[in-house]
Structure 1
């Protein structure tokens, strides 16, 4: 049997892609039906218009919340819209520009600046305008890149972010994105031209969710850790006594959900346990009349700019409750434990998740601070144990 090769161009009709990607609705229309739906967050796609007018020109961005102060786009989002112009007979050129920039200024003189997006597109005249007059409305559609290069590697675009840390040496950080439409017109009486630029700052919010759900306490920590040990991540640190002390060391055990990735709105349960010789643990409780060991658990953020500059700040503090068992063994050679349980909430101070953009990084840690008993000379110094985690925008979907 012989097979004859066919020329596809002679069989298939010519195809011209549309200038603007068509809009899609979240629910089926007339004559359509839903075949399958994947788990999604409960947020619906915006269908309004964001409008910005500047002089003779008006820029309209579609698929936006019409009541928002600023348009918002996600990872590799399409920026769709159109520009409406008066005096179109004078228009020579219409250019779209999308820019993104990281700027860090420190009062000591050090600064960091990096452009992460710089894209230009001529909307008119198009290649096939044929010498015709510019239309009164010119549509556009452009897609945000997923990554950028800085000479050392490839990094995802960082989210929009602005913060000032006055107490940390005047640390000022900005990650800003802007869309601009420039319309160039000729003058009637001379050969000079004028340019009117409409700039629209926008929020870039790349969404990410954890790879697994958070397992809450069901029957209490000790029962759950036996039934579902794979749902918990344990980290351990050694608390050594002061050099002249003869007491054995104490171990810190921090238990957090095994995902180690948590959303901005999540409640993160944890358990802290101190284990060691009773004599060492009682050094934290030398006398019932004195204050016992103070333990603080917090969410610590570290912002790193460039190679050396960084600032740390506590983004959330947990409320702890004592959990049994306590230290009751009379023999100082025996071992026992002290236990605390609590929850961490990110809180409103956190607006963005963790990210790494090369010249700018946002890292997150769960930190356990232990302050020895007050009122006496403690044989233990203050100890800090931290464990890195990642903060993302969305929670694990329930359905």
Structure 2
């Protein structure tokens, strides 16, 4: 008789265990391009030279025309002095300010100004001459305060006609003894313009532009935001025209995002409406009715608001960032929920389109004292002949927020819709 042990099959062959990787309590550097690194830190150096001062700023792109810093950015740099004679102190100052001009008047608001001594001959431990090289590392604050409010530090900005400016600078000052019979300290300064570019992302993604409103409304209704308005009428015999504009529900978009939209007009049947394209060089559509023609446009609008406190003057400047190309959309009754189906005495006109911002725009929206940049998706519906039309012009502005970066699974920055 065979024993139980002898009747069991032989175990499969085993290979030696792979040695576990070494572990350390120290943090490792994040490899460039890994999921936890949104972008590699620049390794170049920005240089400025004068006859007296040599300035070097680290962590810059080699092809950058000006130094760029992000949120809470640290200005790592070094300064060397060629002529050290008759110097009493060397300092560095990081400063931010907003300047606005209205009707020939201008006002300037200092957001922050921080000075740091690099060398001072009057200090007990001070040397007779400054060191060969002096390092510094001032940083951009997250916010600035204007009683009773606190604002995020706005990005660098300059409009086309120079009426609004948000600028940041780094100043190296070489101070010398006062001249005889003079109360002022002589100084030589090197001022370098810095670009402050804080980055932010939406908290949620938007649907890809190839997925239209009609294709996703039933499966993903939460991905669309409905904004409604009415085109008013002068004649009580003609009811108003209902307008339904659908945009991605986050209402926070990257500057690089393509914003898909859907527009529905509910027009009284008695108007006998039809539509066609606008003039060849004009965006939008023309709706033809027995009460006149109406032009329909959808655009991405940027509003620059400036204020001047002494006289309480305010100005608004508008700039179209993108014009939507309206394409006819055929809507079947089974596609729309019942609440989106008009009553029997109305007809619907539906279009879909996309908004792509101009490549020249790189600054996100922001709000600050004296200067604000706000963005809107705008529905513009107006009669061709305003004096003869039964209907009044409608400009419906839906606030949105434009940020620097597209949504990413790596993380986001909370940005609220204004």
Which band: TM-score by shorter chain? 0.7 to 0.9
Q: Secondary structure of 2:154's partner?
A: coil
Aligned: 1:208 with 2:208: no
Shift of the 262–281 alpha-carbon distance from structure 1 to 2, 3 Å rule, reads farther
Paired with 1:77 and 1:104, the residues of 2 have a C-alpha distance of: 25
What residue is the counterpart of 2:213 in the other structure? 221
Contact 1:78 1:144 in 2 (8 A): yes
Preserved CA contact (<8 Å) 2:209 2:258: no
Do 2:80 and 2:134's aligned partners in 1 also have CA atoms closer than 8 Å? yes
Residue from 161, 167, 172 that aligns with 1:176:
167
1:97 equivalent in alignment to 2:97: no
Change (3 A) 1:268 1:238: same
Residue of structure 1 equivalent to 2:301:
300
Counterpart-to-counterpart distance in 2, 1:112 and 1:395:
35
CA distance in 2, matches of 1:78, 1:129: 27
TM-score computed with the length of structure 1 as normaliser:
0.79
More moved, 87-96 vs 315-324: 87-96
Q: Which residue of 1 aligns with 2:246?
A: 255
Post-superposition offset of 1:277: 3.3
Name which of 83, 108, 113 aligns with 1:118: 113
Q: Which residue of 2 aligns with 1:367?
A: 378
Name the CA shift for 1:299/1:32 in 2 (closer, same or farther; >3 Å): closer
**Which position in structure 2 is the counterpart of 1:141?**
137
Per the alignment, in what secondary structure is the counterpart of residue 117 of structure 1? Answer: strand
Matched length: 355
- What corresponds to 1:11 in structure 2? none
In 2: Cα distance, 1:375 partner to 1:176 partner:
43
- Paired with 2:176 and 2:375, the residues of 1 have a C-alpha distance of 50
Deviations 1:47-90 (A, max 9, x none): 11111112221011011123221111111100001101123364
**CA pair 199-281 structure 1, distance change in 2 beyond 3 A:** farther
**Which one of the candidate residues 310, 315, 321 is aligned to 2:321?**
315
Match status 1:341 vs 2:352: yes
Q: Higher Cα Rg: structure 1 or 2?
A: 2
Root mean square deviation, CA, Å: 3.3
**Distance in 2 (alpha carbons) for counterparts of 1:340 and 1:156:** 38
Q: 1:385 to 1:176 in 2, by over 3 A?
A: same
Q: Residue in 1 aligned with 2:189?
A: 197
Q: Is the 8 A contact 1:248 1:280 kept in 2?
A: no
Which one of 67, 80, 101 corresponds to residue 71 of structure 1?
Answer: 67
Instruction: Report the Cα distance in structure 1 between the residues aligned to 2:205 and 2:402, rounded to whole angstroms.
Output: 14
Which residue is equivalent to 2:9? none
1:279 pairs with 270, 275, 297, which one? 270
**Per the alignment, do residues 338 and 386 of structure 1 end up closer, same or farther by CA in structure 2, a change over 3 Å counting?**
same
Secondary structure of the 1:259 match is coil
- Give, in angstroms, the shift of residue 34 of structure 1: 5.0
Q: Does the residue aligned with 2:238 lie in a helix, a strand or coil?
A: coil
Tell me, yes or no, if structure 1 residue 232 matches structure 2 residue 224: yes
SS of match in other structure, 1:254: strand
Give the Cα separation in 2 of the matches to 1:291 and 1:246.
Answer: 15
The 10-residue stretch of structure 1 (338-347 or 143-152) with the greater mean CA deviation from structure 2: 143-152
SS in 2 for 1:279: helix
Cross-structure match for 2:146: 150
SS in 2 for 1:164: coil
Distance in 2 (CA, whole Å) between partners of 1:325 and 1:73 is: 49
Normalising by structure 2, what TM-score?
0.76
Partners of 1:297 and 1:186 in 2: how far apart? 64
Q: What secondary structure, in the 3-state scheme, does the structure 2 residue paired with 1:226 have?
A: coil
Unaligned runs of 5+ in 1: 1-30, 166-170
Q: Secondary structure at the match of 1:353?
A: coil
Q: Which runs of 5+ in 2 are unaligned?
A: 1-26, 275-286, 334-342, 411-418
Distance 1:278 1:55, change over 3 A: same
Instruction: Determine whether 1:356 maps to 2:367.
Output: yes
* Mapped partners of 2:407, 2:194: distance in 1: 27
Hey, what's the Cα distance between the residues in 2 that align with 1:103 and 1:33? 41
